[in-house]
Amino acid sequence: MSTVVTRFAPSPTGYLHVGGARTALFSWLLARHTGGEGKFLLRIEDTDLARSTEQATIQLLEDLRWLGLHWDNADSLVYQSKRQDIYNEIIKNLIAKNHAYEAWETQEELAALRAQAEKAKRAFIYRRRKYSPEQIAKFQEEGRKSVIRFATPVKQYSFFDVIAEKEIVQPEEECQDFVIRKTDGMPTYHFAVVVDDAEMGITHILRGQEHTKNTFLHIALQEALNYPRPTYAHLSTIQNLDGTKMGKRDRDKKVREAAHNFIKNTKTSIEAIASKTTLAASRLEEWLSNSKSQLDPSEHDQLMPAIGLNPKDLPEILVHDFRKNGYLPEALLNFLALLGWSPGENKELMSMDEMVQLFSIERISNANAKFDRTKLLAFNTEKLKAAPTERLVMAMRDFLSVNEDSPLSRATDEQLATLIDMKRGIRTLRELDDATRFFFIPDDQIAYDAAAVEKNLKKNNNEGAGVLRDLQTILTSAPDWTAATLEHAVQSYCTEKNLGLGKVAQPIRVAVTGSTVSPPIFQSLEFLGRESTLARISRCLSTL
């Protein structure tokens, strides 16, 4: 049996998004499924000099590491931008054999040709064009740069797609001579992928459906270069609930929408908004009026406070978004795996090991899937419930590393463990943060929610405040400060006054947290400690 070698080959133009993560996951699962033999390799496709950034590469690797999708060529990561000489050598041979040639049309000329074809309701097919020596001399004189095109042998191409489970065919009239080297000297995607996949010994290529048609170009190139043909599997698209493609544009769309609303509602000028950021007003203006233009994430981050948009309201689409919002990687991965794949037999929740064991490419579906965040939330809840406390302490540390402004950063591991056990039942790590950060805020900085104060303390002629005063006395004289003792003392008070626990717990909650929600109240008081609890109660009472 031959070895399985898969790869994930992102282009570093931004953070990893969930679609890419799912492609990486399937490739990883396929390799791991074969045991120690299989290899999962990573390659950085940075041939687009204008759009690729080093920052994006770093982020991509970090996201992959966070997911636990480790690649087997860690010490020899492939960057296409560093392999220009290798590509050029192969292209030179192709030209020598007349399998490739120089082409001189400018992008404008090509666009005109396409427009013409479209007008005539014809498909535009580029085939080799003849240039006279005089023409070429003139082009060179003008300083034109040529591209190299592949002289595609005109014939019918077909390949077997293991997900569609059938032969996908392209008729010969659709063949065209595509660019393999750009005017800037870099190879195009089509050329670099074919060369690198062959060189890296890739046996199985899993990629998005948008590449299905590209495959014909790739196999034509493989034939000319005498490369073996890998197995192809094209994954369906992940969509938003409304059926549109889920992508990075969604975030930009949301920010733009919010910006327009803000301007409309507050009559703020674009200049005024821009002045709160490092963005130029002209840039902002261009972005607002042109729905095709996009801001990058760091620009979004600056703009959001200026237009009153909370980051939590952004659609989660990047792996990093889910990390920051308190999802566990194993939950995201388990959920993603089920978008297009199922092990059958009604099995859904799986450990990574189980997924590796059960994975098979034949069971991947060819139908598009919608990304339903509520189901992901449910998966996260289950994983959180099943995880041992130590695992969650680590997860919480990771969460805090990307949420540095949280007061919980001040907690010790031991405290985190206590909080985790106190608050079992949370759905995200962010919920734990939200629910327990009041512990770490200075006593005199608790902000009281007006509605909560009204309802639980002031209503019915300060009924709650009266209860709170009684409790102040009781708690002050508590023999020790454990949840059990405090509960016992408060319960006796309830019995004596014939009050339900709710009538008593809520006023304390408001005094101690500023709001109506907290972990179980007596455990919370024990955690907070006698001093802070009493300080908060008296401060609360004094503000009434």
Partner RNA sequence: GGCCCCGUCGUCUAGAGGCCUAGGACACGGCCCUUUCAAGGCCGCGACACGGGUUCGAAUCCCGUCGGGGUCACCA
**Restricting to residues 394-433, which ones interact with RNA according to CB under 7 A?**
424-427, 431
Select the residue interacting with RNA from 272, 484, 517, 544 (CB under 7 A): 517
Tell me the window of 118-126, 131-139, 264-272, 443-451 that interacts with RNA (CB under 7 A). Answer: 118-126
8 Å CB contact between 376 and 332: yes
8 Å CB contact between 9 and 204: no
Q: What does the block give as tokens for 465?
A: 């405040």
Residue 523 CA to residue 526 CA, distance in Å, equals 5
Contact code string over 434-453 relative to RNA, x by CB under 7 A: -x------------------
Tell me whether residue 183 or residue 476 sits nearer to RNA (CB atom): 183
* Alpha helices, DSSP H, located in 270-351: 270-275, 281-289, 297-306, 319-324, 329-337
Amino acid sitting at position 126: Y
**Do strands 39-44 and 78-79 pair parallel, antiparallel, or not at all (unpaired)?**
parallel
Tell me the window of 62-70, 162-170, 265-273, 279-287 that interacts with RNA (CB under 7 A). Answer: 162-170
Q: What does the block give as tokens for 529?
A: 């400690």
* Phi, psi (degrees; rounded to nearest 5) at 370: -95, 140
* Class of residue 42 by CB neighbours under 10 A (exposed 0-12, middle 13-18, buried 19+): buried
Tell me whether residue 263 or residue 494 sits nearer to RNA (CB atom): 494
Is 233 strand, coil or helix? strand
Q: What does the block give as tokens for 212?
A: 């299905």
Tell me whether residue 262 or residue 527 sits nearer to RNA (CB atom): 527
Select the residue interacting with RNA from 231, 381, 409, 532 (CB under 7 A): 381
- Residue 158 touches RNA, criterion: CB under 7 A: no
- Residue 120 touches RNA, criterion: CB under 7 A: no
Contact code string over 31-60 relative to RNA, x by CB under 7 A: --------------x-xx--x---------
- Residue 294 touches RNA, criterion: CB under 7 A: no
- Residue 214 touches RNA, criterion: CB under 7 A: yes
Tell me the window of 25-33, 65-73, 318-326, 517-525 that interacts with RNA (CB under 7 A). Answer: 517-525
Amino acid sitting at position 399: F
- Residue 168 touches RNA, criterion: CB under 7 A: yes
Footprint on residues 335-374 left by RNA (CB under 7 A): 338-342, 344-346, 348, 363, 365-370, 372, 374
Tell me whether residue 78 or residue 259 sits nearer to RNA (CB atom): 78
Task: Indicate the DSSP class of residue 364.
Answer: B
Q: What does the block give as tokens for 419?
A: 């909080």
Tell me whether residue 38 or residue 340 sits nearer to RNA (CB atom): 340
Tell me whether residue 72 or residue 348 sits nearer to RNA (CB atom): 348
Question: In the block, which residue shows the tokens 């900085």?
Answer: 445
